[in-house]
Amino acid sequence: GVFLIPYVLIALVGGIPIFFLEISLGQFMKAGSINVWNICPIFKGLGYASMVIVFYCNTYYIMVLAWGFYYLVKSFTTTLPWATCGHAWNTGDCVEIFRHEDCANASLANLTCDQLADRRSPVIEFWENKVLRLSAGLEVPGALNWEVTLCLLACWVLVYFCVWKGVKSTGKIVYFTATFPYVVLVVLLVRGVLLPGALDGIIYYLKPDWSKLASPQVWIDAGTQIFFSYAIGLGALTALGSYNRFNNNCYKDAIILALINSGTSFFAGFVVFSILGFMATEQGVHISKVAESGPGLAFIAYPRAVTLMPVAPLWAALFFFMLLLLGLDSQFVGVEGFITGLLDLLPASYYFRFQREISVALCCVLCFVIDLSMVTDVSG
C-alpha cells in the first residue's frame, strides 16, 4: 500500500541514478570495484569498503539458499515434516492448529482456544528446533547440523561451477535461473488467487495506510529494499559493467533492469499476499497477524500456508525451488563482484593459468568455512 510511495520516490531519486552510475563507471574504466577508482584515487577506499561488504554478504546470504535447499529436499514426501507433531524435534507444547475450526474442535477436548494460544505450531518447531537448532545461548557449545551443512556445501559447489569460467558461462546459466522463477510465480499466483480469502490479502497489499507515511521505519525499509535488491554499493554492478562494450548503451540497460527488478518485486507481492489472505481466512484472524517479513515469511508463513492446500508437497517444492534459483542469481552477482575486484589487484606479471578458477575456489572454500559457524546449534 503506502510503502509503494517511499519505494518509488527513493528508487527515482537514489536507486536508479546510483544503479546507472555504478554500471557506467565500470563500463568506462573496464575495472572492478577497486581499480575503477583510478579515475579518482582519493576515493579508492570506497572500493575496498565495497569489497568487504560484498564478502560479508556472500558469506551470510548463502545461508538463505542452504535453508531453501533443505526445505526443498524435505518437500519430496507425501506428508510435509513441518505439518505434523510427533517428530523427534517437536516438544510437548506442539499442537497442530492451522485453522480456526481446529481450535473450536480442540475446545471439545478440554482445551480452550486461549490455552492453545500458548502452544507452538509444528511449522515453528521445525524451523527453530530442526533447521536452526536454536540453543540456550552462545556460551553453550553445539555440534554441526549435518543435514543443513550438506545443503550449504551443495550450494557453494553450485555457485563455484556457475561462476568459475566468468560472466559468459554464468550468463548462459542465468537464462534459466532468472526466467524460470517467473513461470513459478505465475503458477503460484494462479493457485493463490483461487483460494478463499485471496482477495482480502490483495486488498490489504494495495490499500494504503496514510498514517504510516510519517513513520521513519517505512522509509528506512523502502530504502533498504531498493539498495539491497539493486545490489548498490557492493561493487558487483561495477564489476559486471566492466564486461560491457565501451559504447554499450548502459543507460538503457540500467533503466530496463531497474524496472524489471521493481516490477518483479511488485508482482511477487500479489503472490505473497494472496496466500497470506488465504491463511488469515483459514485461521480466522486479521491478515496483519499472519504477515511476516524476512526469513519468517519464507520459512514460517509460507510453509504454514502450503500445509492448508491440497497436494501441499507440490506447492512447497515449487516455492522453494524458485527461492533457490532467485538466491543463486543474487549469489552469482556477489561472488562475481568480489572475484573481479580481487583479480584486478593482481599485477599482469602475476597472471598464471587457471588463475580465475583457483581464485573462485579459494573464495568459496573460505566462505564455506566461515559459514560453518552458522550451521551449529549455537547459530541462533
Does the pLDDT at position 324 exceed 60? Answer: yes
CA distance 254 to 376: 40
Res 349: pLDDT: 66
Res 305: pLDDT: 86
Higher pLDDT, 289 or 38: 38
Does the pLDDT at position 319 exceed 60? Answer: yes
Lowest mean pLDDT of 59-68, 98-107, 351-360, name the range: 98-107
Residue range 16-33, pLDDT digits in tens: 999 999 999 999 999 888
Does the pLDDT at position 380 exceed 70? Answer: no
Residue with cell 482445551: 111
Higher pLDDT, 4 or 292: 4
**How large a percentage of the chain has pLDDT more than 70?**
89
Res 172: pLDDT: 84
Helices (H) and strands (E) in the chain, counts: 17, 0
Which triple of cell numbers denotes residue 3?
510503502
Res 9: pLDDT: 94
Residue with cell 535488491: 229
Inter-CA distances, 30 with 20, 39, 314, 338, Å: 15, 11, 45, 15
Residue range 45-82, pLDDT digits in tens: 999 999 999 999 999 999 999 999 999 999 999 989 99
Does the pLDDT at position 296 exceed 90? Answer: no
Res 139: pLDDT: 64
On the 0-12 / 13-18 / 19+ scale of CB atoms within 10 A, 244 is middle
SS3 267: helix
Residue range 203-234, pLDDT digits in tens: 999 888 888 888 899 999 999 999 999 999 88
Q: Which residues contact 237 (CB under 8 A, 6 or more apart)?
A: 19, 22, 23, 26, 230, 231, 337
Res 96: pLDDT: 78
The mean pLDDT value of the chain amounts to: 86
Give the number of C-alpha atoms closer than 13 A to the C-alpha of residue 135, restricted to the C-beta side.
15
Q: Quick check: pTM over 0.75?
A: yes
Residue range 31-46, pLDDT digits in tens: 888 999 999 999 999 9
Res 136: pLDDT: 63
Give the number of C-alpha atoms closer than 13 A to the C-alpha of residue 325, restricted to the C-beta side.
19
Res 141: pLDDT: 59
Does the pLDDT at position 250 exceed 90? Answer: yes
Rounded to 5°, the CA angle 144-149-150 comes to 135
DSSP 8-state class, residue 144: B
Does the pLDDT at position 316 exceed 90? Answer: yes
**Can you tell me the mean pLDDT for 257-261?**
93
- Other CB atoms closer than 10 Å to residue 90's CB: what's the count? 17
Q: Residue 92's pLDDT band (boundaries 50, 70, 90)?
A: confident
**Can you tell me the mean pLDDT for 333-362?**
84
Res 58: pLDDT: 92
In terms of residues, how long is the chain?
380
Q: Residue 108's pLDDT band (boundaries 50, 70, 90)?
A: very low
In sequence order, what DSSP letters do the residues of 82-138 get, joined into one string?
Answer: TS-S-STT--TTB----SHHHHHHHHTTT--HHHHTTSB-HHHHIIIIIIS---S-T
Residue range 143-202, pLDDT digits in tens: 889 999 999 999 999 999 999 888 878 888 888 988 999 999 999 999 999 989 999 999
Annotated binding site: 229, 261, 326, 329-330
DSSP 8-state class, residue 372: G
Does the pLDDT at position 363 exceed 90? Answer: yes
CA distance 233 to 54: 9
Annotated binding site for Na(+): 229, 261, 326, 329-330
Higher pLDDT, 282 or 116: 282
Res 346: pLDDT: 80
Res 76: pLDDT: 94
